[in-house]
Amino acid sequence: MAAATATQTKYEAIIGLETHCQLNTNTKIFSPVSTQFGAPPNTNISPICLGYPGVLPVLNEKVLEYAVKAGLALNCQIAPYSKFDRKQYFYPDLPKNYQISQYDLPIAEHGWLEVEIVDKKTQAVRRKRIGITRLHMEEDAGKLVHAGSDRLSGSTHSLVDFNRAGVPLLEIVSEPDIRSGAEAAEYGQELRRIVRYLGISDGNMQEGSLRCDVNISIRPVGQTEFGTKVEIKNMNSFSAIQKAIDYEIERQIKAVGKDEPIVQETRLWEEGSQRTISMRKKEGSSDYRYFPEPDLPPIEVSVEQREAWGGELPELPAQKRHRYEEELGLSAYDARVLSDDRAVAEYFEAAIATGAETKQVANWLMGDIAAYLNSEKLAVTEIALTPANLAELVTLIEKGTISGKIAKEILPELLTDAVDSVEKLVESKGMTQISDTGALEAMIDELLTANPDKVEQFRAGKTKLQGFFVGQLMKKTSGRADPKVANKLLSKKLKG
């Protein structure tokens, strides 16, 4: 009976994300030691990173600046008075066996970010605000390398690399406003866009500089209380987040349908088998015995300081998207693609600032140029083609100086070799379009004389043959004939 009603019940998922974002400061949060990723084990360390007896932490001011900027970009309230706390637990990758973090007075709270959800079928874009509960600063732990197993259990011994210990982190906790894997993936991507726009993190998930843990429960639609929460870890891409959540929603609905209880636990996403597996049961919440860090004075951010840092914020991805749609008339899709990467967006804006046609510039950037960047693994800042060059190229097509086809032919050269003027280049190569009616008429007359049978057939009704003549004319002009003018002249002459 219960099973029968359960199958008919519609469920919704309640999802919150906890994101750890490594800041790209040159030195660690509490010690003047390099944060360089990929250095040989235990080379970026100092007595402070290792929690040696008698050493003291000193806050890297850059970390505070980045945290406040991130808080402002996420529409948070910045705490005028904040502090660090010690979060205590024993683990060999945690040098002091406590982590310097923030507990009850985080640097930023009560914010939100906007995500755009694209409907797969209709391609319609829906905007949604996801609440940000809090954002705080903390230090990263080191890394364990287990010999003989992927995990601590089953390994013969473990090695510890403290290079990462003390790398600054922002922990960003969302409200449980997320309802699907797609929304979660979009939230993660938007967060990454924001930190990249701010220039405070590289947001690289493979290298672990952006790590997302998911909290998820289900409940029948209409019910107000939450179901039992399960935590999922170990996703190292946004698509993994989406798939792990979708899998977990299914699993929980099936379990409830079979009258199996959902247990409060931590589950791991297994990329290989594309499923979540139980890692550990949670018996009550852990007691971290937080207390204020006595080695660091409270953090005070003055209004002047907050406003000064706020004034340094760039236009953020959501603002750009809105502006591109509303002021530039781009589609929601184009606006999303162009604003995804700050450098591309700035390139785009520089190109259209000269008056080049917006949609054409967008098409080039999203089409041929994007394809080239993709295949060559280059950033838009690394190509020889300047925004001014692209604007000139688009304008030359618009004016009819060159054809779109010629433009595509010349692009590879422009991407790799710097030029002052695209127009001079096409002129010197004799690639400008022939729009001169006199010259074209003479060539058309020649063609008609040379192909009397085709002219005959055309006039008998086989009008498709106009294409043949266009092709011949293009051949004769190496593709430089202005197609509009050529077609117009041909129609007239073929009809006699």
Partner 1 sequence: MASTIRTIHEQLISKERSAVEITTETLARIEQLEPQLHSFLHVTAESALAQAEAVDAQIAAGEAIVPLAGVPIAIKDNLCTTGIPTTCGSRILENFVPPYESTVTQKLKDAGAVIIGKTNMDEFAMGSSTENSGYGRTCNPWDFDRVPGGSSGGSAAAVAADECAIALGSDTGGSIRQPASLCGVVGMKPTYGLVSRFGLVAYASSLDQIGPLARSVEDAAILLAAIAGYDPKDSTSIKVEIPNYAQNLQPNFRPKAKLRIGIIQETFGSGLDEAVNTAVRAAVEVLQELGAEIQVVSCPRFGYGLPAYYIIAPSEASANLARYDAVKYGVRVEEPENLLDMYKRTRAQGFGTEVKRRIMLGTYALSAGYYDAYYLKAQKVRTLIKQDFDAAFEKVDILISPTSPTTAFTAGEKTDDPLSMYLSDLMTIPVNLAGLPAISVPCGFDRQGLPIGMHLISKVLREDLLLQVAHAYEQATQWHRQQPQLL
Distance CA 428, CA 439 (A): 20
Q: Per CB under 8 A, does 492 bind partner 1?
A: no
Residue among 88 and 228 whose Cβ is closer to partner 1: 88
Residue among 161 and 248 whose Cβ is closer to partner 1: 161
Q: How far is the CB of 239 from partner 1 (least distance, A)?
A: 35
Q: How far is the CB of 150 from partner 1 (least distance, A)?
A: 17
**Which residue type does 403 have?**
S
Strand, coil or helix: 330 = coil
Distance CA 346, CA 337 (A): 13
Q: Per CB under 8 A, does 300 bind partner 1?
A: no
Q: Per CB under 8 A, does 56 bind partner 1?
A: yes
Q: Per CB under 8 A, does 105 bind partner 1?
A: no
- Report phi then psi at 50, rounded to 5: -95, 0
Contact between 218 and 248 under an 8 Å Cβ cutoff? The reply is no
Residue range at the interface with partner 1 (CB under 8 A); choices 11-19, 221-229, 283-291, 388-396: 283-291
Q: How far is CA 272 from CA 8, 151, 206, 209, 257, in A?
A: 32, 16, 16, 22, 27
Number of helices followed by number of strands (H, E) in the chain: 17, 16
Q: How far is the CB of 60 from partner 1 (least distance, A)?
A: 11
Residue among 296 and 448 whose Cβ is closer to partner 1: 296
Q: How far is the CB of 32 from partner 1 (least distance, A)?
A: 10
Q: How far is CA 313 from CA 102, 116, 146, 317, 470, in A?
A: 24, 22, 42, 12, 54
Partners of 266 in beta bridges: 231, 280
Q: Work out which of 38, 40, 54, 261 binds partner 1, going by CB under 8 A.
A: 54
Distance CA 216, CA 210 (A): 19
Q: How far is the CB of 21 from partner 1 (least distance, A)?
A: 24
Q: Per CB under 8 A, does 470 bind partner 1?
A: no
Structure tokens at 80: 């005028």
Smallest Cα–Cα separation from 87: which of 27, 141, 11?
A: 141
Contact between 200 and 316 under an 8 Å Cβ cutoff? The reply is no
Q: Work out which of 297, 367, 404, 471 binds partner 1, going by CB under 8 A.
A: 297
Structure tokens at 45: 């360390």
Distance CA 256, CA 6 (A): 7
Residue 116 CB-half CA count within 13 A: 19
Q: How far is the CB of 58 from partner 1 (least distance, A)?
A: 5
Q: How far is the CB of 159 from partner 1 (least distance, A)?
A: 11
Which residues, 6 or more positions from 398, have their beta carbon under 8 angstroms from its beta carbon? Answer: 356, 357, 360
Q: How far is the CB of 324 from partner 1 (least distance, A)?
A: 45
Q: How far is the CB of 299 from partner 1 (least distance, A)?
A: 11
Q: Work out which of 92, 367, 412, 467 binds partner 1, going by CB under 8 A.
A: 92
Q: How far is the CB of 91 from partner 1 (least distance, A)?
A: 9
Q: Work out which of 287, 304, 327, 453 binds partner 1, going by CB under 8 A.
A: 287
Residues 10-49: x where in contact with partner 1 by CB under 8 A, - otherwise, as a string = -------------------------------------x--
Q: Per CB under 8 A, does 58 bind partner 1?
A: yes
Residue range at the interface with partner 1 (CB under 8 A); choices 91-99, 132-140, 216-224, 468-476: 91-99
Smallest Cα–Cα separation from 351: which of 385, 382, 375?
A: 385
Residue range at the interface with partner 1 (CB under 8 A); choices 90-98, 271-279, 389-397, 400-408: 90-98
**126 CB neighbour count, 10 Å cutoff:** 11
Please give the distance of CA 283 from its chain centroid, rounded to a whole number: 37
Q: Work out which of 66, 98, 197, 309 binds partner 1, going by CB under 8 A.
A: 98
Query: How far apart are the two ends of the chain, measured CA to CA in Å?
Result: 84
- Owner of token pair 């502006």: 323
Residue among 152 and 378 whose Cβ is closer to partner 1: 152
Query: What ranges in 299-357 are assigned the alpha helix state H?
Result: 303-311, 317-326, 332-339, 342-353
Q: Per CB under 8 A, does 57 bind partner 1?
A: yes
Please give the distance of CA 482 from its chain centroid, rounded to a whole number: 41
**Which residue type does 1 have?**
M
Instruction: Identify residues 373-392 at the interface with partner 1 (CB under 8 A).
Output: none
| Total residues binding partner 1 (CB under 8 A) | 31
Residue among 158 and 237 whose Cβ is closer to partner 1: 158
Q: Work out which of 14, 296, 388, 485 binds partner 1, going by CB under 8 A.
A: 296
Q: How far is the CB of 291 from partner 1 (least distance, A)?
A: 5
Q: Per CB under 8 A, does 97 bind partner 1?
A: yes
Q: What letter does residue 40 receive in the DSSP assignment?
A: P
Instruction: Identify residues 139-198 at the interface with partner 1 (CB under 8 A).
Output: 152, 158, 160
Q: How far is the CB of 75 from partner 1 (least distance, A)?
A: 30
298: left (phi over 0), alpha (psi -120 to 50) or beta: beta
E strand or H helix that includes residue 146: strand 143-147
Q: Work out which of 20, 96, 110, 146 binds partner 1, going by CB under 8 A.
A: 96
Q: Per CB under 8 A, does 298 bind partner 1?
A: no
Q: How far is the CB of 47 from partner 1 (least distance, A)?
A: 5
The binding site for partner 1 (CB under 8 A) comprises 47, 50-59, 86, 88, 90, 92, 95-98, 152, 158, 160, 285, 287, 289-291, 294-297
